[in-house]
Structure 1
Amino acid sequence: MRLPRLSVDPLAALFAALALVLLIVFLVMLGSTQPRSNGTELPYTTVQRKAAAGEVRNAVQLDYDHRLLITDRAGAEAWTSFPATGGLQDQLLTQLDRKGASVVIDAQSGKQAKRLIVQVLLPILILASLFALFMRVSQQADAGGMGAFSRWAGRRSKLGPGSTGGPSFADVAGAPAAVAELQELCDLLRFPERYSALGARPPKGALLVGPPGTGKTLLARATAGEAHAAFFSVSGAEFVESLVGVGAARIRDLFAKARAAAPAIVFIDELDAVGRKRGAGVGQGNDEREQTLNQLLVEMDGFDAGRGLIVLAATNRPDILDPALLRPGRFDRQVTVDAPDADGRAQILSLYLKGRPCEADVTPAEIARRCPGFTGAELENVVNEAALLSARAGQAAIGVDDLDEAIQRVVGGPRNDTHVLGPDELETIAVHEAAHAVVAAAHGDGAQLHQLSIVSRGRRLGRATTLMLDRDRTVLRRSDLERQLAVTMAGAAAERIAFGEVSTAVNDDLHTATQLARSMVTSFGMSSLGPVTIGEHSAEVFLGASLQELGGVGPGTLERIDAETREIVEEAETRAAKTLSANWPVVQAIADDLVAHETLADVQLAGHLAAVRAAPNGSGPDHGGPADR
């Protein structure tokens, strides 16, 4: 077998050999500088007694070590330390000489120099050799030498034609507005003369804003792929170090490399890690994060976007970014990447299901209706979970049941078969879930109930799954929110009707209803307090920017907010109770079926809900859907 050739740097080998030789010399000389210890240690009085009795045959006086080595008539060796006073030492030596012992005096003239070499010079030389060795090795690994820690060492890839695995806009779905905005950036990088002829100034940067999992990083990579540009990917946390100046140095090095590789896209993920508002803390001094942000601002001012360099960044917290980052000339535009609507979810599911064996009845549009509000990452997880379930069951293709179970697993977790509920608990949960379904149906939902279940998943004891019948809505009137509150409080109202008291199953319902009612009072102006926002601030408390503002709401106003919130929630429960009283036989029938079968879906559930009478005092679309426990 032929061994691979090893590349050895001669200078590094020299430093390593020098350090090894010095270490050997150090160990050898270290032994010669240690005090000689012949035999056992004896007290000085014992040596005096042996000398007086004539038992000592010879003695060696070690001046530097301040010791006396003796050998008795039997040949046994021992040693003792000299006394502090020279008179006792001379007396002992005189007595040894009188008794016929051979006394030798060793001045140890060279030992002091040896100790100086061993304790001072050799350690310095060894450390210097090792330092030179490590420095040489670091120079071989990175041209920056010992300053390599301040250089950017992130990921760089060339996307576009000839690249492997690079995404394009064809791999992105559910965000047509974001793709349209970023397509212009691609054209600016590929055909800059088209814009420069009209005097258009290319944007220097674009900020991708959206909740986690909506595909901001994928969009950035797809933009680089479409633009045929080098892609520099870095996380904002990589610039934040405890060493002063490291973050700013890495920013400079990153932009220098990006300019050299133009056309290029610099993508900074989680920009809020380095771009927080400056001076927002309490008692801050010279913060390293602020220096890094200052360098980023300077670098974005110092390059010409017409030369083929654009900065993309992503964050889900634009409210805490420094205003200097968001001004024109730095991040000229903000691209919102929100959760996809029903059509977008169907397109994303089509992408993830492409190339996977699926049964004939699997329709992406139908599956998309069953998971409202899901992001792209959650939809990818749904498809992956469905594939795992199919493989676990030994199936040849992914079925609708697998996708349904995958949605339930993503929302509530896997089925908790170890949590066995008693008959009373099952009845309580069944009545609770049946009440949500009946009140939702009585108020004329814009969403159709697809499934009702009392299967325990994680911390959830039951869930109602809906199918969106029309487009996703983002603007809701007060009547819509009131109906949503009535559906949310239906479980608590049913428990009071059926059992005369509520259970702990209403915990999540109360939390959801209280948050919604408080938002109606403080954010939406839907209360007697008037059309104002109260105590709503975009700045975070930990930033220290709004500590005084948070205390600007008086105690009387806070009491009125609590009273209004409580009144709205109580009215919602009252409306739900009236609806349930008018449809109690249907609630009981659904609850009985749930106890018997655990899950009701589609035809079974629709048969029960067909008998539900409309809610009193009006009806209308309610897109909130039943609450989950």
Structure 2
Amino acid sequence: MSRTARPGPPPTPPPPPPGPRHRAGLLGWLVTTAGVAGIVLLIVTPMLRTSQSAALTYSELLAKVDQNQVSAITVDSAGAVNGSYRDGKSFTSQLPTALADPRLTTALTAKNVAITGEKSTGSGDVLTSLLGYLPILLVFGLLWWAGRRALAGTGGAAGLGGMGGFGRSKARIIEAQRPTTRFADVAGYEGVKQEISEVVDFLRDPSRYAAAGAKGPRGVLMIGPPGTGKTLLARAVAGEASVPFLSITGSAFVEMFVGVGASRVRDLFSQARDRAPSIIFIDEIDAVGSRRGPGGMGGHEEREQTLNQLLAEMDGFDQSTGIVVLAATNRPETLDAALLRPGRFDRQVAVPLPNQAERAAILAVHIDDKRLAPDVDLTVVARGTPGFSGADLANLVNEAAINAVRDSRTTLTAADFGTARDRVLLGRRDASNALLPEERHSVAVHESGHALVAALCEHADPVAKVTILPAGMALGATEQLPEAERHLYSEAHLADLLAVRLGGRAAEILVLGQASTGAADDLAGATAVASKMVIEFGLSPALGPIGYGHSSVPMGTDDRAEPPGRPYSEQTQRVVDEEIARLVREGEARALALLRQHREALDRLAARLQEEETVDGSVVRAILRDSGGHPATRPEIPAHQGYLPAAGGLATARNRAR
């Protein structure tokens, strides 16, 4: 039974012969080396000459002649003396010609010293002049070398495109055989991958689209928050398409020299045409594609020229050549409207923050090379990380691994992930940040108020952990794990959120008789929620169903006609302020009422926190039941696995802002 031999790898192509650019680089290196060597010789040669001959003063010279130690001297017209001793050693000196002293001549004649005269060559003046002109010579040499580079870079025509390589594109070219990232390596984002994969399919088989009369996209703009994997998706496109992939960042186009950015754009598209079909990927395109004109984000002439050239290239290249431009940005509102019109970036793909299921899939990718303990449940970890991007999740897994290394372990436990989440959200726990006894009691009362109000409110997220251990800027924290991924928030949920935010301050007022500075962050968060309820969500009876929206400008619109500042009058602002204050006061009053009704549970939970420092959410619900209270009815969440820290614990932030 015979087996067909598997073909071996293709032979490695021989290296290309050195071209004009290589020779120009070698020539520039030789010119630089010669210039440095000339400077060294001009400076070191006089020093060496001086060090070989001892310098004598005029008085010392007379003494040496009187002692009959001098055999011969040579004197030039400037009075410089070069002589030799009778033992063969040499010396130098200088005659004081202004004194016209005859003693030296008499002594030399008496001692039979050979005297020779010569005309001065002015070598010192020559060296000084050469050193003075050396910078000018170096400048002219650099310009000559740059001109040769320009000729080599443009095929014989001088221009900016080859001058020192400034005008050449800095794109990183990835050929078809090199990429290893595939769509299978990108967890989640199935809809995004489907839209991007159509670009790959068009490059592989454009005849399918031509048969239906469809045209492939010229440009695809990926929009999403930082860390959501836009660049990773672009790398996956390079791996799937099996075509050359030219990658560059928007900032690489902009230089201090006029016209360099436009030249680099031309060179980039020229390289893409030479390798067509191909893909151009421009990361952070907002660095070069900002809006032009007064009131826009641009206004810089060189940047505008670069953008104009990019627009012209995207408009001008032949679609049949198979060039597709991918771009990514996290600031779409700053882009010029001309970039976003059909015919340039035909398709805009949103890459949002991952949902709970996608976060679990992303975590599974990042733990592929790590050992996990049986108590680790990635679903629980994903539930506890709302608002985390893919980069945040990668950092979370890395922090968990670092925490395991600190304990001399190679297996990651659920406690490691809980500690890592605390570390990412709040910062490192400082063991030296000890609280005074009265501060410890105040923090315990404060966090107990948050936890009890959250347990009593029907629409609030369930409590997962309460701690009074300081970490970062927080002295304590109450963690809540959402039951499911929310996309819409009802008015009842927002009202419960306000009450939970102000539960700590209400507990301090109820138990201690006064509030403290510990509620500053809670007040800021509650005020922000109330502001959105009034201004954006239309949940104020005084204003009615009116939403003023975000202050940012919608993508692709012209903001020059919109005046800066708030889009409503001073009178409306007064009503807005009154409504915000009303909502915050109502939230605090509701929290006070709930805590007065369950005062026994509040005191017991505060005492338990002072004793144990960190308690689980099930403890909060048990204390509430034992005290005659009834926690809000909601689906029971799984046993808490990932957020009980090791001895000492960590305080974490409350629900991450979505």
1:423 aligns with 2:423: no
1:376 aligns with 2:390: yes
Letter in 2 for 1:517: A
Give a deviation string over 1:190-244, Cα, whole Å, max 9, x none.
Answer: 1111001111111111111111111111111112212122222222112222211
Counterpart position of 2:492: 479
Counterpart position of 1:585: 600
Counterpart position of 1:509: 522
CA distance in 1, matches of 2:336, 2:245: 25
CA distance in 2, matches of 1:122, 1:417: 63
Letter in 2 for 1:356: K
Bigger shift: 144-153 or 19-28?
Answer: 19-28
Q: After the TM superposition, which residues 576-615 of structure 1 pair with which residues of structure 2 at under 5 Å, given as runs?
A: 576-610=591-625, 613=629
1:560 paired residue among 550, 575, 579:
575
CA distance in 2, matches of 1:25, 1:167: 55
3-state SS in 2 of match to 1:447: coil
Query: Aligned-pair RMSD on alpha carbons?
Result: 4.5
3-state SS in 1 of match to 2:166: helix
User: Is contact 1:174-1:347 (8 Å) kept?
Assistant: yes
1:197 paired residue among 191, 211, 234:
211
TM-superposed deviation, 1:608: 2.6
CA distance in 2, matches of 1:620, 1:452: 19
3-state SS in 2 of match to 1:524: coil
Counterpart position of 1:217: 231
Give a deviation string over 1:275-318, Cα, whole Å, max 9, x none.
Answer: 11111449986522111111111111122344222111111111
CA distance in 1, matches of 2:37, 2:471: 67
User: Is contact 1:22-1:125 (8 Å) kept?
Assistant: no
Query: What TM-score, normalized to structure 1?
Result: 0.79
User: Is contact 1:19-1:129 (8 Å) kept?
Assistant: no
3-state SS in 2 of match to 1:550: coil
Q: After the TM superposition, which residues 56-205 of structure 1 pair with which residues of structure 2 at under 5 Å, given as runs?
A: 118=130, 128-129=140-141, 132=144, 146-158=163-175, 162-163=177-178, 166-205=180-219
3-state SS in 2 of match to 1:344: helix
Q: After the TM superposition, which residues 439-450 of structure 1 pair with which residues of structure 2 at under 5 Å, given as runs?
A: 439-445=453-459, 447-450=461-464
1:330 aligns with 2:344: yes
User: Is contact 2:452-2:620 (8 Å) kept?
Assistant: no
CA distance in 2, matches of 1:172, 1:489: 41
CA distance in 1, matches of 2:492, 2:170: 55
Counterpart position of 1:99: none
CA distance in 2, matches of 1:20, 1:242: 28
CA distance in 2, matches of 1:105, 1:339: 92
Unaligned regions of 5+ residues in structure 2, if any? Answer: 1-17, 48-54, 60-74, 82-91, 104-108, 110-115, 156-160, 636-652
2:379 paired residue among 365, 370, 390:
365
Counterpart position of 2:245: 231
Unaligned regions of 5+ residues in structure 1, if any? Answer: 1-6, 32-37, 43-59, 70-75, 83-91, 97-101
CA distance in 2, matches of 1:606, 1:283: 53
Counterpart position of 1:496: 509
3-state SS in 2 of match to 1:548: coil
User: Is contact 1:444-1:614 (8 Å) kept?
Assistant: no
User: Is contact 1:224-1:264 (8 Å) kept?
Assistant: no
1:523 aligns with 2:540: no
Bigger shift: 118-127 or 306-315?
Answer: 118-127
TM-superposed deviation, 1:388: 1.9
CA distance in 2, matches of 1:215, 1:522: 32
Q: After the TM superposition, which residues 18-29 of structure 1 pair with which residues of structure 2 at under 5 Å, given as runs?
A: 19=35
3-state SS in 1 of match to 2:374: coil
TM-superposed deviation, 1:511: 0.9
Aligned-residue sequence identity (percent) comes to 39
User: Is contact 2:172-2:247 (8 Å) kept?
Assistant: yes
Return closer, same or farther for 1:488/1:273 CA change in 2, 3 Å cut-off.
Answer: same
TM-superposed deviation, 1:148: 0.2
User: Is contact 1:535-1:550 (8 Å) kept?
Assistant: no
Query: What TM-score, normalized to structure 2?
Result: 0.76
User: Is contact 2:426-2:473 (8 Å) kept?
Assistant: yes
CA distance in 2, matches of 1:495, 1:28: 80
CA distance in 1, matches of 2:424, 2:34: 62
